Amino acid sequence: MSTVPKPLGLLAELTHRCPLACPYCSNPLDLERRSAELDLATWARVFEEAAALGVLHVHLSGGEPGARADLEEITAAAARAGLYTNLITSGIGLDAARFARLAEVGLDHVQLSIQDADESEADRFAGMSGAHRRKRKAARAAVAAGLPLTINAVIHRGNADRVPAMVAEAVAMGARRIEVAHAQYYGWALANRAALLPTLAQVEAVRAAVEHLRAEFLGRLVIDYVAPDYFGSRPKPCMNGWGRQSLNVDPTGRALPCHAAATIPGLTFWSVRDRPLAEIWERSPAFEAFRGTGWMREPCASCPRASVDFGGCRCQAFALTGDARNTDPVCALSPLHGVVAEARTEAAAPAEAAAPAEAAAPFRYRRHRQAAPA
Ligand code: SF4
Ligand code: SF4
C-alpha cells in the first residue's frame, strides 16, 4: 500500500491570460499562451481523477479564469466531480450574467483581488484604467448571485498604509472575509522586489492595524493575515510540505508541487495530458524530489522543526541561494540568511532617505513576452 499522503487541494491554473498586469503576480515570468491551454474535456477528467485521489477542493485560478469563455463549463465539471469550487478572480471580465450562471452550475465561493482602496493607485498597480471600479461592480454581482465573497488584498510598500481603507472597501463590497496578505516574493514580485518590499515599520504597522480591525469588525468580517516571509526568523511550511497536501496543474497540463516549482532547474514535470493524476502524485520525479524530510541538508536535517516547516520554500531557496536543497534563507539558522537581511536593509534605506513617491522604483509590469520579430 502506498505511504504517500493524499492531496486535499488542487490549484487549477486555467490560463495565464489576464487583462491586468500586477507587478506582484505569482505567475511565472514566461507566461503560457492560449494555444497551449488544456481543453475542457481534459480539465473535466482531471477533476474526476482529483476527486478519486482524495482532493476535496479546487481553486479555479489563472491568470484571470474569466478569460476562458468555457469557465462556466469547467466549473460545472468540477462541481459534478464533487469538488468544493473556489474561483480566484480579478473580477475583470465577469459580469452579473456570468456570476449568475457560475452560481447556477455549482460554484461555491469567489475570491476577488483588489490592488488598493485608493482608486487611482489600484488602477496604477493593476496597469489598467478603470479596473477598480469594475472590481466593485463584479463584487456586487457575485454577492447578488448569492456567492460568498472573500477579498484578497496583496500588501506591499505602496499600499501598506491603507489596510484600514481596504478592510472598509471589503465590507462595502459585501465580503464575509478579507485576506490581508503580504506579497510573496516569487515570480513577478521577486523581479519587482526592490519596489515592493515594505519596511519593518510598515510591517509592524500592518500587523497592529489587523489586530485592531479584527476587534472592530468582529462578527461582521473575518480578517486573515499572511505575514511576510522576509521579516520572520523561521520560514512558513510552504504548501504544508512538498507533495503532501496539494498540487497545481498549470495551463498546459504540467502537474507541479507548487505554482513556482517550474523555476527550479532539473525537475521533471509530468503532464496530465499523458498520465493519470494519481500516478503523477505518487510517482513523478518532481513530486518525489522534496517529499518528506529525507532530502534535507543541515541545518534542517537535524532540526526539531524539520517536519513542522519542511525547511521552508524550495523555490525561495533556489531563487535566493541558487540551490533548491538549501535551507530557505528566510530561516535565521540558514548560513545564507544574510541575503534576506540585505533585502530588508535595502527596503528600509530609500524610504528613510526620500519621500515615498520618490522612493518608489519603477515596476516591471506582468506581460506576455513579445514574440521575436520574424
Ligand atoms: S495577480 Fe494581477 S496580473 Fe496576476 S493573475 Fe492576478 S489579477 Fe492578473
Ligand atoms: S533549520 Fe530548517 S527545519 Fe529548522 S527552522 Fe530553519 S528551515 Fe526550519
Q: Give residue 350's pLDDT.
A: 56
What is the pLDDT averaged over residues 269-288?
97
Spatial neighbors of 208 by CB under 8 A, at least 6 apart, are none
Whole-model pTM above 0.75?
A: yes
Q: Give residue 278's pLDDT.
A: 97
Q: Give residue 1's pLDDT.
A: 56
Exposed/middle/buried for residue 97 (C-beta within 10 Å: 0-12, 13-18, 19+): exposed
Cell of 286: 518532481
For 91-101, write each residue's pLDDT tens digit: 999 999 999 99
The amino acid present at 245, given as its one-letter code, is Q
Q: Is the CB of 31 under 6 A from ligand 1?
A: no
Maximum CA extent, the chain:
62
Q: Which ligand is nearest to the CA of 302?
A: 2
How far away, in angstroms, is 304 Cα from ligand 2 center?
Answer: 8
Q: Give residue 355's pLDDT.
A: 43
Q: Is the CB of 327 under 6 A from ligand 2?
A: yes
Q: Give yes or no for residue 361 having a pLDDT over 80.
A: no
Strands (E), 128-282: 149-155, 177-182, 222-226, 246-249, 255-256
For ligand 1, atom 2, name the residue with the nearest CA. 22
Q: Which of 20, 3, 11, 185 is nearest to 93 (CA)?
A: 20
Q: Give yes or no for residue 249 having a pLDDT over 80.
A: yes
Residue 175 Cα distances to 59, 124, 141, 150, 221, angstroms? 18, 23, 12, 5, 7
Cell of 57: 477542493
Q: Give residue 2's pLDDT.
A: 66
| Order of strands, sheet of 177-182, starting from the edge strand that comes earlier in the sequence | 222-226, 177-182, 149-155, 109-114, 84-89, 57-61, 9-13, 246-249, 255-256
Which residue of 236, 242, 300 sits with most ligand 2 atoms within 8 Å of its CB, as the best mutation to test the pocket?
Answer: 300
**Intra-chain end-to-end CA distance of the chain, in Å:** 54
Cell of 289: 524530489
Residue 372 Cα distances to 19, 30, 161, 241, 269, angstroms? 22, 14, 41, 39, 27
Cell of 347: 527596503
Give the torsion sign (CA, 152, 115, 130, 175): positive
For 313-353, write each residue's pLDDT tens digit: 999 999 999 999 999 999 999 999 999 999 888 877 754 44
Which residues on neighbouring strands pair with residue 13, listed in sequence order? Answer: 61
C-alpha 26 chain-centroid distance = 6
What is the pLDDT averaged over residues 228-251?
94
How far away, in angstroms, is 328 Cα from ligand 2 center?
Answer: 8
What is the pLDDT averaged over residues 286-302?
96
Contact 139, 91 (CB under 8 A): yes
Strands (E), 97-192: 109-114, 149-155, 177-182
For ligand 2, atom 2, name the residue with the nearest CA. 300
Q: Is the CB of 300 under 6 A from ligand 2?
A: yes
Q: Which of 259, 248, 278, 273 is nearest to 41 (CA)?
A: 273
Which residue of 15, 64, 132 sits with most ligand 1 atoms within 8 Å of its CB, as the best mutation to test the pocket?
Answer: 64
Cell of 115: 490592488
Contact 261, 22 (CB under 8 A): no
3-state helix, strand, coil in the chain (%, to 5): 40, 15, 45
